[in-house]
Structures are given as C-alpha cells and as structure tokens.
Amino acid sequence: MTPPIKSKLPDAGTTIFTIMSGLATKHNAINLGQGFPDFPMNQELISLVNSAMKNGYNQYVPMQGYMPLRESIAEKASFLYGASINPDTQVTITPGGTYAIYTSLTAVLQPGDEVIIFEPAYDSYVPGVEINGATPVLINLDFPGYKIDWNKVRQKITANTRMIMLNSPNNPTGSVLSEDDIAELRSIVVGTNIFILSDEVYEHLVYDEIKHQSLLRYPDLMERTFVCFSFGKVYNCTGWKLGYCITSPGLMTEFRKVHQFNCFSCHSPSQVALATFLRNKDAYLSLAPFMQKKRDYFAKMLNDTRFKALPSHGSYFQCFGFDRISDESDKDFAIRITKEYGVACIPVSAFYKSGTDNKVVRFCFSKKEETLQEAANRLLKL
C-alpha cells in the first residue's frame, strides 16, 4: 500500500502545454501552442558540440559552469547592457531558464513571504512560490495592452513582500517593459528588503526597434535581482535545456547553495561549444529581425480572419482575441479548433490562477513560413 502523500502542490495538474500538444499529436494538428521552433538550429553550433565531445569534454565541469562560457556571458552583458559582471561570482549555468527561476525563488523565500506576480504569467511562477511556502500575490496586467498598473503594485506591498517577479518580453502576451516601468520599479523597492526576479529568456526577441530593458542595465537594481536567461530561446535549441542566472555576489552564494545539491553540473560539451559560439554577436543580434518577420507574416495571414491581433513587441508569441468568432470559453475554443481545424494554440486563461478569460488565445509564430501559411489557411475556415 502506497503511503498517503500530503501534496505540496495540491492544485497542480497536467499543464495546458502537455494537454494541447497531446491533442495536436492525436488530431495531426499544426502545433502553434508550445513554444519551440520547427526549423533547424545553427549547424556551426552543432559542429562545435560534436567537436567538444570528440575532444574529450565529456566529464563534469565546475558546479558554477564552464568558466570560459561564464566569461563569454559576462562579455555579452557588458556589450549589450554596459553591465560589469564578475564571471566567477555572479554567473551560474543552469539546466534551463525555468530551473534558474525556481532556484532563485528557493534561495531566498521563506514560509510567510509574499511574492508579487503579474498575470497572465508563465505557468511555473505560482507553483515555484507555493512549493517554497510563500504566498503569490497576483496582479492582473491591464488588458488589452498587458501593462503593469504600478499603483496596484503599491497597494499590494506589505511588510511581508519579499519579491517582485518580472517577465520581459512577456510570455504569453509579448508585452515589454519600458523605461517608465523601470523608474516605477525603482521607486517602489528603494529602501526596502524586496528582491526582484527578472525572467529575460526572450531578451533577443524584442521587436519594433524597442530597447530591451534588461535589469542588467541598472546596477542599483542588480544588487537585489536574479536575472534568468535561456540558451534554448536564443539558439533555437529548446531541447538542450541550458540557461543561466546572473545576480549580485551575495545572492549568487545562496543560489549556488541550492544549485549544488540539485543539478550540480550541466551538459559539458554544450557549455564548451557555447563558450565559443556566444562570441559570434551576429548570431543573437540577427534573431530579432528574423523572428519579427515571422510575427508580421503570420499576423498578415490572419488579417482576413475574424481574429483580432493584440500587440506583441517580443517573444515567440502573439495573442489574438476571438470574441468575433465565438462566445465559447478560451479553453473550449482552443480544443475545438485543434480537433476541427487542425491548429493547436494555448488559451490565455491558463496563465491566470483565477482563470480570467478575455476570449484570447496564444499562437507561437517561431515556425517555418510554410507551417504558418498552412495554419493560417486552416484558420481562414473559421
């Protein structure tokens, strides 16, 4: 007989991504739900990993990550954001961005702490807070632009507020932080003991000539901030599950205490390859215009449908309202078009703990043009 379990996540079930991807496979649908490319990654990077394996880089690298890779990351942070980052004390390589987020939360949260989370939010945020015994304090982004109302933030701050979680570019909405947002954030946290977690896995996917407001730009904020990144989103290799965290030395000491007893060390050959490839600036600087063309192409294809495009200034994703098509719930609508029209998407209510339903679904446009064209052709029949 299995002993009874008191679940640490009693409300958690199968994620909507697993559900919708399963439906896409079952019904032979085009999967524009889960965020992954369907086109090849860079062949040079593949060759570098292969060479690293052949040259014997197949054993553990240090717990913090392969030092030449951390040095390349620090150089990139300086080049892009003017940040002065010590690769020895401020950078740790992780098995993906989600892991970096979870480890950051675990490093500082205590039972009774409160964490401000803006919804719609990436689905790991709330469980990551709850499993650490802390309380999510949820604030809806203003619809339809999905912007932060900083007055609402001020109203939610209490003596127990331990962290504010940010995500720019935002998943699922594609909204991005502005300089005004940073000024508001700074005014709220100055003189407090509030930490910040900045999820920037889509840092190189910012469109329309907008400047990415990385928290690496702001030394005063960096003292209290964990900044989390993903190589998978940069180099179209999501299955590699490699990312990293940058923070101040004191916070990184606590981060590594958790990391060393969980993952300890990540895939060595990939780190060796990335240490070299990351110095190729064009490989990441060219990503935004490349992906913006896909966003614009897909949006243009849907102009002749009854979908209404919502602004997306970053990420792999664009949200579309469907209230001119159906009064169904967004989940029912997403399931129906997967089954009947062969295109899978994600209902945006899945990104709200409250289940807020604004009749919006999220499509991933990081696909080949022929994939996007075929999906649009099917959606035109709605």
Residue 131 reports pLDDT greater than 90: yes
1: confidence class by pLDDT, cuts 50, 70, 90: confident
36: confidence class by pLDDT, cuts 50, 70, 90: confident
- Mean pLDDT in residue range 89-95: 98
Residue 97 reports pLDDT greater than 90: yes
What pLDDT is attached to residue 365?
97
12: confidence class by pLDDT, cuts 50, 70, 90: confident
Note the pLDDT tens digit of each residue in 187-198.
Answer: 999 999 999 999
Contact (Cβ atoms closer than 8 angstroms) between residue 166 and residue 199:
yes
Q: What is the mean pLDDT of the chain?
A: 96
- Mean pLDDT in residue range 344-353: 96
Q: Which residues contact 172 (CB under 8 A, 6 or more apart)?
A: 120, 122, 315, 317, 319, 346, 348, 351, 362
Residue 15 reports pLDDT greater than 90: no
What pLDDT is attached to residue 349?
97
- Mean pLDDT in residue range 8-17: 86
What pLDDT is attached to residue 153?
98
Q: What domains appear along the chain, each with residue ranges and CATH number?
A: 16-41+285-379 (3.90.1150.10), 57-280 (3.40.640.10)
Residue 341 reports pLDDT greater than 90: yes
Residue 160: name the closest of 187, 123, 195 by CA.
195
Residue 137: name the closest of 161, 170, 111 by CA.
161
Contact (Cβ atoms closer than 8 angstroms) between residue 350 and residue 21:
no
14: confidence class by pLDDT, cuts 50, 70, 90: confident
Note the pLDDT tens digit of each residue in 200-247.
Answer: 999 999 999 999 999 999 999 999 999 999 999 999 999 999 999 999
Alpha carbon distance 158, 167 (integer Å) = 22
Contact (Cβ atoms closer than 8 angstroms) between residue 201 and residue 187:
no
What pLDDT is attached to residue 309?
97
Half-sphere exposure (CA, 13 Å, Cβ side) for 204? 21
